[in-house]
């Protein structure tokens, strides 16, 4: 099940995928939202091989399954599940019962025939998949297609996956020839200013089965409000408030009269606790107006008593940093390897004050 905002590129990525698959095995693209002419126009615009792909315009689930039994595709796309209806129910297409029953019939057919089926789902204003929650329980994998509609990057994120790591992330660039894979996303998220600037630090986040380097930026400024603002983009706002309290108690750095703004460059969401130390380093750098070196990497979880805790997959994060030319890393002592990757000096810390000394020595 793949969901995303209108116009984000769901139909584009699935049409590209199916045209490529159709060269090797039978594939069927069922569209309930567009005409066959519109699908053909898109395929021509993207210069896709169209001669092998079969396209069907239909919204009746019984007709779709009957056609699929005859054509026997190995891969089938239903675009979208909200337009499909079954004759067994009287309600309109897109209703809870229609979506649930149509999906159930498709899941049953997929299991009987061994066909891989992609369902395209609409999303609500909040960004969650529309329709009954049972739809997500029925399928093997739930993918969210995210990105700013005016931006070039698109992120394909797995939130449920019966076949592998959840939170796996695919990064694509939107071009005039459709979506192109970004094989080295760290390089894109690290297009930084050549000069060192205050409030910027690089961290290694873990996405599914691979590390990714992202830049965390902080801006700390005098507040003219009785309640200073705490604004985060791509990070947890409550965690920021907690870490600022830890910074005051165990680092002796008060921010109660400062506005604090935090941003993860490139629109990436970092939801793991490994961002704690990088977040505090960026805040300190901006507060003191002291730039951190461009070749410095920071990651680690910070506890309420000021201890720096190790995070999973520390070795892989350090190897990714070494690959991108980083020279120095400040990490939890538990993640410091016996033998550092070539060219990378790793400093292991156990307490917040040690980390601040290492950052601003």
Q: What's the mean pLDDT in 270-274?
A: 91
Q: What is the pLDDT of residues 101-146, one digit of tens each?
A: 999 999 999 999 999 999 999 988 877 888 888 899 999 999 999 8
Using the 3D structure, point to which of 126, 154, 183 is the last residue of a domain.
183
Residues 281, 159 share a domain: no
Using the 3D structure, point to which of 183, 201, 234 is the last residue of a domain.
183
CB of 220 within 8 A of CB of 259? yes
Q: What is the pLDDT of residues 177-193, one digit of tens each?
A: 899 998 877 777 676 65
- Residue 168 above 90 pLDDT? no
Residues 152, 248 share a domain: no
The parent domain of residue 320 ranges over 188-359
Residues 193, 170 share a domain: no
Q: What's the mean pLDDT in 310-323?
A: 91
Residues 70, 219 share a domain: no
Summary mean pLDDT of the chain:
91
Residues 337, 193 share a domain: yes
Cα 182 from chain centre: 13
Could you tell me the pLDDT band of residue 33, with boundaries at 50, 70 and 90?
very high
Residues 47, 161 share a domain: yes
The total number of structural domains in the chain stands at 2
Residues 192, 107 share a domain: no
State pTM to two decimals. Answer: 0.71
Q: What is the CATH number of the domain that holds 346?
A: 3.30.230.10
Place of tokens 């977040």: 279
Residues 115, 35 share a domain: yes
Residues 152, 173 share a domain: yes
Query: Within a 13 Å sphere around the CA of 341, how many CA atoms are in the beta-carbon half?
Result: 18
Residue 332: strand pairing partners: 349
CB atoms inside a 10 Å sphere around CB 232: 19
Per mean pLDDT, which range of 14-18, 91-95, 100-104, 249-253 is the poorest?
91-95
Residues 293, 193 share a domain: yes
Task: Kindly report the backbone phi and psi dihedral angles of residue 273, in degrees, each rounded to the nearest multiple of 5, phi listed first.
Answer: -75, -10
DSSP secondary structure letters along 68-105 = HHHH--SEEEEE-GGG-B-TT--SPTTSHHHHHHHHHH
Q: What is the CATH number of the domain that holds 130?
A: 3.40.50.300
Residues 178, 202 share a domain: no
Q: Please tell me the predicted confidence (pLDDT) of residue 210.
A: 80
Q: What's the mean pLDDT in 75-93?
A: 93
Q: What's the mean pLDDT in 11-20?
A: 95
Using the 3D structure, point to which of 122, 157, 183 is the last residue of a domain.
183
Residues 198, 179 share a domain: no
């Amino acid at each position: 099940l793949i969901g995303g905002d209108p116009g984000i590129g769901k139909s584009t990525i699935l049409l590209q995928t199916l045209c490529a698959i159709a060269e090797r095995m039978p594939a069927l693209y069922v569209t309930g939202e567009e005409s066959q002419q519109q699908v053909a126009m898109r395929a021509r615009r993207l210069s896709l091989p169209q001669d092998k792909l079969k396209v069907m315009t239909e919204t009746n689930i019984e007709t779709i399954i009957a056609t699929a039994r005859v054509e026997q595709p190995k891969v089938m796309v239903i675009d979208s599940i909200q337009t499909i209806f079954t004759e067994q129910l009287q309600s309109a297409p897109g209703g809870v019962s229609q979506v649930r029953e149509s999906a159930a019939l498709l899941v049953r057919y997929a299991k009987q025939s061994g066909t891989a089926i992609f369902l395209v789902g609409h999303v609500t204003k909040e960004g969650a998949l529309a329709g009954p929650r049972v739809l997500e329980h029925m399928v093997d994998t739930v993918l969210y297609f995210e990105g700013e509609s005016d931006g070039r990057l698109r992120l394909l994120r797995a939130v449920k996956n019966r076949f592998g790591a959840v939170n796996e992330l695919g990064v694509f660039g939107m071009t005039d020839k459709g979506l192109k894979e970004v094989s080295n996303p760290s390089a894109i998220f690290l297009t930084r200013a050549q000069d060192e600037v205050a409030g910027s630090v690089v961290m290694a986040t873990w996405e599914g089965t691979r590390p990714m380097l992202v830049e965390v930026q902080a801006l700390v400024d005098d507040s003219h409000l009785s309640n200073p603002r705490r604004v985060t983009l791509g990070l947890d706002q409550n965690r920021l408030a907690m870490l600022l309290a830890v910074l005051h108690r165990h680092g002796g750095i008060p921010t109660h009269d400062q506005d604090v703004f935090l941003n993860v460059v490139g629109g990436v969401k970092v939801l793991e606790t490994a961002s704690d130390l990088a977040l505090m380093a960026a805040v300190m750098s901006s507060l003191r107006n002291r730039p951190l070196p461009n070749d410095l990497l920071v990651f680690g979880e910070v506890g309420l008593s000021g201890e720096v805790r190790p995070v999973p997959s520390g070795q892989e994060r350090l190897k990714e940093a070494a690959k991108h030319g980083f020279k120095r890393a400040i990490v939890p002592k538990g993640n410091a390897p016996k033998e550092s990757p070539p060219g990378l000096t790793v400093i292991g810390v156990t307490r917040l004050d040690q980390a601040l000394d290492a950052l601003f020595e």
